[in-house]
Amino acid sequence: MRRPRKRQSARISPRSSLRADVWLMRHLQVALASLGRLIRTPLSTLMTTLVIGIALALPSGLYLLLGNVESLSGHWDGAASISLFLTQETSDEQAGSLASQLRRDPAITRVRLIGRTEALDEFRRLSGFAGVLDSLEENPLPSLLIVEPAADRTEPAAAEALLARLRQHSEVEFAQLDLQWVRRFHAITEIARRGVIILATLLGLSVLLIVGNTIRLEIQNRHAEIEITKLIGGTNAFIRRPFLYNGAWYGLFGGISAWLMVGISLLLLDNPVEQLAGLYQSGFRLSGIDFATLLVLLGGSTLLGLIGSWIAVGRHLHEIEPA
Amino acid sequence: MIHFDNVTKRYPGGHEGLSNVSFHIDPGEMVFLTGHSGAGKSTLLKLIGLLERSTRGQVRVAGRNLTRLGRGQIPYHRREVGMIFQDHRLLHDRTVFDNVAMPLVVAGLGHIEIGRRVRAALDKVGLLCKEKNLPVTLSGGEQQRVGIARAVVSKPPVVLADEPTGNLDPTLSREIMNLFEQFNDVGVTLLIATHDLELISGMNRRILVLEKSRLARDNAAESVN
């Protein structure tokens, strides 16, 4: 785009060809000038920035939340376990011998036995039904074996095969593969991920429109300046430049405010999430925006601002011709 | 320097701003363009500055055929043609210095060079002491001189002026004309549209008279005859 124009200019007027350092200096000046222009109208700049910030904070916040939820599910992936509920007739001793038999199985890493008595104690402790339980003549709870498949059996198909084999044991009343839940969870997060992408696309589009509209108004406000600049031989590239920088600044500021909004929200959520995690005996903490994500956010928002203003300038600059 | 060959400008709707106009102006000439309002003076100047394009015929300025000049080259052409307007067309949110500097900024000159040339131009029009003023604080005559400084600051070979003295009293008008004569003395080609016949009659310069979109009189052609 630049080069052929420069060559044309050289043909018409050799003395006006730009030197590289002057060109760079000019860009810096225009960038700072458009920044200064924004700062001189702080209220409208702040409002535009906040609107862009909110539009960007929503998808980036959701994206972050999704990442946190997925990191949470990461803990469960390895622990895809099979619960074996044993029949009422099975005594704690029989359950113990089945457990040690299963421990020798190469497809199984770990077997945890929760005997009937132990289960009853735990239930009494946690449920608050101690009085009711004491009135029962016999323990209604079965023994439970929690079986963790070996690392190479956590694949859904392999785990299903193991599940079918474990069902064969006569002591087993009911066997449940907890992997099922993990798979459902994965399906749900996949839907959420798509949702975030769709939302991000729509809100990104809205940022384009916001910046485009703001720049369009700016072009109208500076109608006289554009007209006079065209009269004295300003190229379209020259006239376009301050508006493009304007849009890029809006995008960058919007990105920064989105970052702040997400950061503040995380701070507000951090404490309750820690409490909730504590209730589940988990040391889980929310993770914030890392440096790479921040770079993508700021780069993306600046680019959106640039594209938005480019569209506006492209559409409206040609409408202004000196007469 | 400026050549018109059978130039016609027809506006949308059928009105002819110029009909079959031919003349040429040599480098270094100072020429007045007169006629009633609506006779086509502004149209003629607009064709030279490429604010309009001719419907028929050929316009050439400084060896360039404007009929064939592409859109992308218009800005580079305008840098070679200084334009002065009756309403000055200054930017009111910028200082006198910044207004005059605009053509140089657009052309991409360095900072120091811009300062030097702008001050030289302001000195020429006698406004060096007002470089930091905003245009609104200046009188009409001073604003017009700022407009003139802006038109000549990049030393274009051709300067056009559309009713430059339209709003000024005779003394100020006389001063403006003196300024134009000084530019002409250093070789600038000038074409000045005005309806102030009294002002230009004593200046002994070539006068083009437009009447109803046609060139009615050209006293250079007469003197040849």
Q: pLDDT per residue over B147-165, tens digit each?
A: 999 999 999 999 999 998 8
Confidence of residue A179 (pLDDT cuts 50, 70, 90): low
Minimal C-alpha gap between A223 and chain B (Å): 11
Confidence of residue A139 (pLDDT cuts 50, 70, 90): confident
Confidence of residue B116 (pLDDT cuts 50, 70, 90): very high
Q: Is B17 helix (H, G, I), strand (E, B) or coil?
A: strand
Q: Is A66 helix (H, G, I), strand (E, B) or coil?
A: helix
Closest alpha carbon to B77 in B54, B57, B51, B96: B51
CA dist B219 and B225 (Å) reads 10
Does the pLDDT value for residue A43 go beyond 70? yes
Which of A37, A230, A231 to mutate to probe the B interface, most B CBs <10 Å?
A231
pLDDT computed for residue B103 by the predictor? 94
CA dist A76 and A177 (Å) reads 13
Does the pLDDT value for residue A14 go beyond 50? no
| Cβ partners under 8 Å of residue B62, min gap 6 | B1, B80, B157, B158
Minimal C-alpha gap between B76 and chain A (Å): 6
For B156-183, what is the mean pLDDT? 89
Q: Determine what percent of chain A is predicted with pLDDT higher than 70.
A: 89
Could you tell me if A88 lies within 8 Å of chain B, comparing CB atoms? no
The answer to whether the CB of B8 falls within 8 A of the CB of B213 is: no
- In chain A, what are the domain boundaries? 2-76+184-316, 80-177
In degrees rounded to 5, what are phi and psi of residue B120? -65, -45
In degrees rounded to 5, what are phi and psi of residue A92? -60, -35
Does the pLDDT value for residue B210 go beyond 70? yes
For A107-115, what is the mean pLDDT? 84
CA dist B41 and B37 (Å) reads 8
Cβ-based contacts of A13 with chain B (< 8 Å)? 76, 79-80
Could you tell me if A5 lies within 8 Å of chain B, comparing CB atoms? yes
A 10 A CB-CB count for A7 gives 10
For A13-28, what is the mean pLDDT? 67
| Cβ partners under 8 Å of residue A306, min gap 6 | A244, A247, A248, A251
pLDDT computed for residue B86 by the predictor? 86
For A30-58, what is the mean pLDDT? 92
With the C-alpha atoms ordered A24, A25, A30, A31, is the resulting torsion angle positive or negative?
A: positive
Of B97 and B13, more confident: B97
Cβ-based contacts of B102 with chain A (< 8 Å)? 228-229, 232
- List residues of B whose CB lies inside 8 A of any A CB: 46, 49, 51, 64, 72-73, 75-80, 83, 89-91, 102-103, 106-111, 150
**What residue type is assigned to position B101 of the chain?**
A
pLDDT computed for residue A258 by the predictor? 95
Confidence of residue B200 (pLDDT cuts 50, 70, 90): confident
Here the tokens at position B38 are 């609506």
- The helix (run of H) or strand (run of E) holding residue A219 is helix A179-221
Confidence of residue A4 (pLDDT cuts 50, 70, 90): very low
For A3-32, what is the mean pLDDT? 62
pLDDT computed for residue B143 by the predictor? 92
Which of A1, A13, A227, A232 to mutate to probe the B interface, most B CBs <10 Å?
A232
Confidence of residue A60 (pLDDT cuts 50, 70, 90): very high
pLDDT computed for residue A301 by the predictor? 95
| Exposed/middle/buried for residue B65 (C-beta within 10 Å: 0-12, 13-18, 19+) | exposed
Among A residues 235-274, those touching chain B with beta carbons less than 8 Å apart: 235-236, 238
Confidence of residue B216 (pLDDT cuts 50, 70, 90): confident
Q: Which of B64, B75, B111 sits opposite A235 (nearest CB)?
A: B75
Cβ-based contacts of B49 with chain A (< 8 Å)? 231
> What's the mean per-residue pLDDT of chain B?
89
CA distances from A319 to A44, A58, A298, B70 (A): 25, 36, 32, 17
Q: Which of B51, B106, B110 sits opposite A233 (nearest CB)?
A: B106
pLDDT computed for residue B189 by the predictor? 93
Q: Is A168 helix (H, G, I), strand (E, B) or coil?
A: coil
Residues B160-189 as b/e (b if ≥16 CB within 10 A, e otherwise) read bbbbbbbebeeebbebbbebbeebbeeebb
Cβ-based contacts of A236 with chain B (< 8 Å)? 75
The answer to whether the CB of B78 falls within 8 A of the CB of B50 is: yes
Q: Do B103 and A22 touch (CB under 8 A)?
A: no
CA dist A22 and A30 (Å) reads 12
Does the pLDDT value for residue A13 go beyond 60? no
Cβ-based contacts of A317 with chain B (< 8 Å)? none
As a whole number of Å, the end-to-end CA separation of chain A is 27
Model confidence, pTM? 0.74
Q: Do B91 and A225 touch (CB under 8 A)?
A: yes
Distance, C-alpha B150 to centroid of its chain: 11
Confidence of residue A82 (pLDDT cuts 50, 70, 90): confident
Distance, C-alpha A76 to centroid of its chain: 20
CATH level 2 (architecture), domain A80-177:
2-Layer Sandwich (3.30)
Cβ-based contacts of A9 with chain B (< 8 Å)? 76
Distance, C-alpha A255 to centroid of its chain: 15
Q: Which of B78, B90, B109 sits opposite A233 (nearest CB)?
A: B78
Q: Do B108 and A18 touch (CB under 8 A)?
A: yes
CA dist B142 and B165 (Å) reads 12
| Cβ partners under 8 Å of residue A255, min gap 6 | A52, A53, A56, A297, A298, A300, A301, A302
Closest residue, chain A, to B110 (C-alpha): A22
